[in-house]
Amino acid sequence: MRKRYILRYMRKLAALVLLSSALYAQTPKQVLPGEDWVNLFNGKDLTGWVKVGNETWNVEAGTIHGLATTKDYGYLKTEKSYKDFHLSLRFKCEGDGNSGVFFHVDFKPGTADVSQGMQFEIDCRIGQHTAGLYGDGRGWLVWPSPENETVVRADDWNEYLLKVEGNHFVSRLNGVLMVDFTDPKPKSFDGPIALQLHSGGSGNMRFKNIMIRDLTKR
């Protein structure tokens, strides 16, 4: 009698353990603050990125190197689209090239012509409004304040933090708030992120430590 009771007890205990394990496996892992940042660039190759146009993009010493070899625009866009996000990266200008970080971008089929999207400007020459907002067929939307035009580092790495939340756009450059802008008439709402090489054939840019915090609720 005692042996049968012990066997029944052991079977019930085993069933409870299996049930608990199954429920634990189905419970989503809690993401703690700061753990929702993921790498967009693996430091080794261009997995997850797509070249648009004929400019040269490759990986050198753990950086994405964009080199203008024609006089046309060139882009390197993410395979994935993003709506709301925070983006952190470092960039370095080598030469006098103009660049930018596009978002909600799209292109005319088979071309490097932008059909939608805006950009956070990159130009390491003083007074060229790095971290300002430009695009969507409307030209400049907002510039940094004049006293912040010298924040950009011409011959060194720059730290960029970009926030896109609905029609609210924020840029920080080297720890300084550059733009905090709410667009009254937004035109683009979703699409890839893209690094740019400006037309003219003088672009020579490096990017690294590219991480994103995807806030999009799909």
Residues 162 and 130: beta-carbon distance below 8 Å:
no
Question: Where are the extended beta strands (E) located within 158-200?
Answer: 158-165, 168-173, 176-182, 194-197
In the prediction, which pLDDT does 168 show? 98
In the prediction, which pLDDT does 71 show? 86
In the prediction, which pLDDT does 165 show? 98
The domain segmentation of the chain, as residue ranges, is 31-214
In CATH, what class is 31-214? mainly beta
Half-sphere exposure of 167 (CA within 13 A, CB side): 8
Element (DSSP H or E) covering residue 25: helix 2-26
pLDDT digits (tens, 9 = 90+) for 30-74: 656 567 999 999 999 999 999 999 999 999 999 999 999 888 999
pLDDT digits (tens, 9 = 90+) for 80-129: 999 999 999 999 999 777 899 999 999 999 999 999 999 999 999 999 99
Q: Would the pLDDT of 190 be above 80?
A: yes
pLDDT digits (tens, 9 = 90+) for 137-154: 999 999 999 999 999 999
